[in-house]
């Protein structure tokens, strides 16, 4: 199988395949033709439950496999890409061709997914480029230590440090943040830390299929195990969750932020998922907690869409980006 056929879904690698578990997968007639094609072809890959060197090899393969997809994204959403050093890490700053100078005071911070064990700002450009294009503002794609490099809370602490640095030049209400999958969860953990430290919180969050609970709990974890075309908890998530937690209880709120107390405060949140997303229950449970805490939120569930479908070249993804941009716009100061 040619590596150029590999795609990123934020949490894991997926490899093009015609069948799921030897059986033809149901394809709904209610999705776009582009999405239908991917539902037929995508298949979860398995991540290793092994030593650091094997994680590193998997990460390198992931980085290489994303090249074609990111090149396509750069053609669709052109942008200037610069490097910025903050908190002893080198991040990417994206300035889209759609950039509107009226947004000069704004910044959108992106925390990439990858099961806490793979991906980088470079290999997830298909997400940050789209976000920059639809929000017409600059995006800072954060680099953070992966779990096999430094376990939790290292990634959270880098995100917090980046945010604190941005506060030197931006008002809190000029900073919006978003993350997909594991990145969405790391972002939630960081924002809760920001809150608990007494710092002003960002204007709003975008949470795309957040891995808010790294246990295997939730109705959709069971019901959509075979329907989600990219995820397999036992095959590609469990080992990553345990490596990330580094001995902590998987239900610790700093590891699985779904178990946090949102009554103490949380920014307005846009939550995006799909009816095939194995993390659909995470999103539903998160919305319930936000409602109970009196936190403004918007949950959008897309018909027939799988985990982190937003990074794929399908019409439904463009709808999701427009929705997120509109939500952020309502809360974001210039």
Give 10-residue mean pLDDT values along the chain (334 residues). 35 37 79 92 71 84 88 96 96 99 98 96 98 99 97 97 98 99 99 98 99 97 91 89 95 98 98 98 99 99 97 96 99 96
* Per-domain residue ranges of the chain: 3-331
pLDDT per residue as tens digits for the range 254-301: 999 999 999 999 999 999 999 999 999 999 999 999 999 999 999 999
User: pTM of whole model > 0.85?
Assistant: yes
**Cα–Cα separations (whole angstroms), residue 86 to 81, 107, 175:** 16, 14, 16
Are 95 and 140 in contact, with CB atoms under 8 Å apart?
no
Q: What is the pLDDT of residue 7?
A: 42
In the block, residue with structure tokens 């998997």? 58
Please choose, from the candidates 270, 247, 254, 279, the residue with its C-alpha nearest in 3D space to the C-alpha of residue 325.
Answer: 270
User: What tokens appear for 4 in the block?
Assistant: 């150029």
Q: What is the pLDDT of residue 324?
A: 99
Question: CATH number of the domain at 3-331, please?
Answer: 3.40.50.1820
Q: What is the pLDDT of residue 24?
A: 77
Q: What is the pLDDT of residue 53?
A: 78
In the 8-state DSSP scheme, what is residue 143?
-
pLDDT per residue as tens digits for the range 199-247: 999 999 999 999 999 999 999 999 998 899 989 898 889 999 999 999 9
Q: What is the pLDDT of residue 6?
A: 36
Q: Which conformational region is residue 213 in: left (phi greater than 0), alpha (psi within -120 to 50 degrees), or beta? A: beta
Angle at 224 between CA 222 and CA 225, to 5 degrees: 65
Please choose, from the candidates 319, 235, 327, 331, the residue with its C-alpha nearest in 3D space to the C-alpha of residue 274.
Answer: 319
């Amino acid at each position: 199988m040619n590596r150029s056929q590999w795609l990123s879904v934020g949490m894991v690698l997926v490899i093009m395949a015609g069948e799921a578990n030897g059986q033809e997968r149901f394809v709904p007639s209610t999705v776009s033709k582009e999405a239908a094609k991917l539902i037929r072809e995508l298949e979860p890959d398995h991540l290793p439950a092994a030593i650091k060197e094997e994680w590193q090899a998997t990460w390198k393969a992931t980085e290489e496999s994303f090249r074609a997809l990111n090149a396509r994204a750069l053609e669709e959403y052109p942008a200037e890409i610069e490097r910025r050093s903050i908190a002893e890490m080198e991040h990417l700053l994206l300035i889209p061709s759609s950039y509107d100078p009226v947004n000069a005071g704004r910044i959108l911070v992106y925390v990439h997914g990858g099961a806490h064990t793979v991906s980088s700002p470079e290999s997830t450009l298909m997400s940050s480029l789209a976000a920059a294009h639809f929000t017409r503002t600059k995006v800072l794609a954060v680099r953070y230590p992966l779990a096999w490099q430094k376990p939790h809370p290292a990634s959270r602490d880098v995100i917090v440090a980046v945010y604190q640095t941005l506060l030197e030049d931006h008002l809190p209400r000029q900073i919006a943040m978003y993350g997909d999958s594991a990145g969405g969860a790391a972002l939630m953990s960081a924002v809760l830390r920001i809150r608990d430290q007494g710092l002003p919180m960002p204007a709003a969050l975008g949470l795309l299929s957040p891995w808010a609970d790294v246990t295997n709990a939730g109705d959709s974890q069971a019901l959509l195990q075979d329907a989600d075309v990219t995820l397999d908890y036992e095959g590609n998530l469990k080992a990553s969750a345990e490596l990330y937690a580094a001995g902590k209880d998987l239900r610790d709120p700093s590891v699985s932020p779904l178990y946090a107390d949102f009554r103490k405060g949380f920014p307005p949140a846009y939550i995006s998922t799909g009816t095939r997303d194995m993390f659909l229950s995470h999103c539903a449970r998160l919305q319930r907690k936000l409602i109970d805490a009196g936190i403004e939120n918007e949950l959008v569930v897309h018909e027939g869409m799988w985990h982190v479908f937003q990074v794929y070249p399908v019409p439904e993804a463009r709808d999701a980006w427009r929705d997120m941009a509109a939500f952020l716009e309502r809360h974001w100061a210039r």
